[in-house]
C-alpha cells in the first residue's frame, strides 16, 4: 500500500492582507475665505511707501498737497505760487490761535506784537473790495489787468444769424456725404457686400495703401494710358490718382444693346449705346473686381481680397490684365454694329 500522506503537513500558509480603505477626513462645514486686503510690509520695502503710492496708474496715485497743487497752477498760469522749498512760517500758523501764541518763545511773541502794531487798523493782507475794474485807481486797475486776459473784440454778426456766415466757396469735402473722392466712393460702394460699408471702407484703405507702397509700374507701349497721364514714378505718390487712372484707362466708351425686332421678324440687332463717365467707370470697376476674384490668394486673412484688387489695378496700369481684352472686344463690336444705327429722317 502506498504510504499515507499527511494533508495537514503539506498545507502552506498564504499571507492575506486586506485592502486599505480610504478614510474620509472630516472637514468643517464653514470655510473661512481668504482676506482680500494686503497689509503693508515695511520690512521688505526700502522706501516704506504704501502700495497705492507706488502704483504707476494715474488714477491710483494719491492727491498732492494743496500747496503743490497751487504751485502747479501758478506755473501754468504764469503767476507766483507758494515756495515749496520753505515751510509755512510759525507766525502765520498761530496767527488766530491765542493759546498757541502764549506758548511761543518771547522773540516770536514780540515779533507778532510789532507786526500787529505797524499794520494800520482795519487793513487786511488781501482785498475784499467790490469795486469793478476801471472804477478804482490806475495802479490798481493795471495790477488787475496784468493777471487778466486781453479783451477780445466782438465780431459783429449779420442780423438774424446766430453764428457767422460760412466762407464761400464751400470746400468739396465739407459735406458729410461727399467728403471722399467720387472714384473712391464709387469703388467703395461696389466693394460692399451685404450692406457692410465699414468692411468695404477698410478694404478700400488697404487697396490705397498697397498702391502707395508698390514699386514704380512699367508702362506697356502697346496699351497706353490716357493722354496727359503723369509719369509712372509719380503714381505711387498719389494713390487716388493711381486708382482713377487705372479705372479710366480701361473704361469702355459704349455698351452693346440688343434691340428685339429691329431687323424684322423678331430678329434682334446689336446697337451701340454711348455711356456717361460714371457708367463707364462702373463697368470698368466691375471688370477689375471680377478679374481680381479669379486671382490666386497669396495671403490668408482679411487683407487677401484687398491685395488681389490692388494687384489687378497694378496689372491694368502695366497692361498685363485681361480687362484690356474685354475693352477692345466691346469697342470692336461697337464699330461693327454702328451700321445698325438708324438715324432719324429729316422732314
- Asked whether residue 200 falls in the same domain as residue 336, the answer is yes
DSSP code string of 142-189: HHHHTTSPPPPPPPPPPTT-SSPPPPSSPPTT-SGGG-S-HHHHHHHH
Tell me whether residue 123 is in a domain. no
Q: Which of 65, 96, 114 is the last residue of a domain?
A: 114
End-to-end CA distance of the chain: 154
Question: How many whole angstroms from its chain centre is CA 241?
Answer: 25
**203 and 328 inside one domain:** yes
Task: Tell me, yes or no, whether 192 and 336 share the same domain.
Answer: yes
Q: What are the pLDDT digits (tens) for 258-304?
A: 988 776 777 888 899 999 999 999 999 999 999 999 998 877 788 89
Query: Do 89 and 236 share a domain, yes or no?
Result: no
**DSSP conformational letter for 232:** G
Residue 47 lies in a domain: no
Q: Are residues 110 and 189 in the same domain?
A: no
Q: Comparing 176-185, 188-197, 315-324, which segment has the lowest mean pLDDT?
A: 176-185
Number of folded domains that form the chain: 2
The three grid cell numbers given for residue 81, joined into one nine-digit string: 505760487
Residue with cell 504707476: 56
Is the residue at 330 inside a domain?
yes
pTM: predicted TM-score of the whole model, two decimal places:
0.52
Q: CATH number of the domain that 250 lies in?
A: 1.10.455.10
Q: How far apart are CA 172 and CA 170, in angstroms?
A: 7
Q: Over the range 131-149, which residues count as b (16 or more CB within 10 Å of their CB) and which as e?
A: eeeeeeeeeeeeeeeeeee
CA–CA separation, 212 vs 45, rounded Å? 55
Q: Are residues 218 and 296 in the same domain?
A: yes
- 124 falls within a domain: no
- Say yes or no: 191 and 325 in one domain: yes
Note the pLDDT tens digit of each residue in 231-256.
999 999 999 999 999 999 999 999 99
- Structural domain of 188: 184-340
Amino acid at each position: 500500500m502506498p504510504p499515507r500522506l499527511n494533508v495537514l503537513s503539506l498545507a502552506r500558509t498564504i499571507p492575506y492582507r486586506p485592502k486599505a480603505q480610504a478614510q474620509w477626513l472630516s472637514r468643517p462645514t464653514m470655510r473661512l475665505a481668504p482676506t482680500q486686503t494686503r497689509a503693508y510690509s515695511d520690512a521688505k520695502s526700502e522706501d516704506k511707501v504704501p502700495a497705492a503710492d507706488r502704483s504707476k496708474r494715474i488714477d491710483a496715485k494719491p492727491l498732492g498737497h494743496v500747496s503743490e497743487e497751487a504751485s502747479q497752477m501758478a506755473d501754468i498760469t504764469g503767476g507766483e505760487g507758494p515756495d515749496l522749498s520753505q515751510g509755512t512760517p510759525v507766525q502765520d500758523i498761530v496767527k488766530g490761535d491765542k493759546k498757541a501764541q502764549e506758548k511761543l518763545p518771547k522773540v516770536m511773541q514780540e515779533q507778532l506784537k510789532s507786526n500787529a502794531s505797524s499794520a494800520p487798523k482795519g487793513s487786511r493782507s488781501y482785498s475784499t473790495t467790490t469795486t469793478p475794474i476801471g472804477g478804482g485807481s490806475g495802479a490798481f486797475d493795471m495790477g488787475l489787468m496784468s493777471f487778466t486776459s486781453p479783451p477780445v473784440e466782438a465780431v459783429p454778426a449779420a442780423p438774424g444769424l446766430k453764428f457767422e456766415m460760412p466762407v464761400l466757396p464751400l470746400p468739396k469735402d465739407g459735406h458729410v456725404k461727399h467728403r471722399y473722392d467720387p472714384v473712391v466712393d464709387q469703388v467703395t460702394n461696389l466693394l460692399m457686400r451685404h450692406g457692410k460699408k465699414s468692411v468695404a471702407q477698410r478694404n478700400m484703405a488697404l487697396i490705397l495703401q498697397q498702391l502707395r507702397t508698390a514699386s514704380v509700374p512699367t508702362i506697356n507701349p502697346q496699351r497706353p494710358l490716357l493722354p496727359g497721364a503723369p509719369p509712372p514714378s509719380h503714381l505711387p505718390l498719389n494713390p487716388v490718382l493711381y486708382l482713377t487712372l487705372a479705372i479710366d484707362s480701361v473704361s469702355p466708351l459704349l455698351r452693346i444693346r440688343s434691340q428685339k425686332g429691329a431687323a424684322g421678324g423678331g430678329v434682334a440687332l446689336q446697337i451701340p449705346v454711348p455711356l456717361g463717365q460714371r457708367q463707364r467707370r462702373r463697368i470698368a470697376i466691375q471688370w477689375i473686381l471680377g478679374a481680381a476674384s479669379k486671382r490666386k490668394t497669396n495671403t490668408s486673412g482679411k487683407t487677401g481680397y484687398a491685395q488681389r484688387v490692388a494687384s489687378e489695378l497694378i496689372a491694368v496700369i502695366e497692361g498685363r490684365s485681361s480687362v484690356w481684352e474685354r475693352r477692345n472686344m466691346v469697342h470692336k463690336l461697337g464699330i461693327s454694329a454702328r451700321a445698325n444705327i438708324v438715324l432719324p429722317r429729316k422732314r
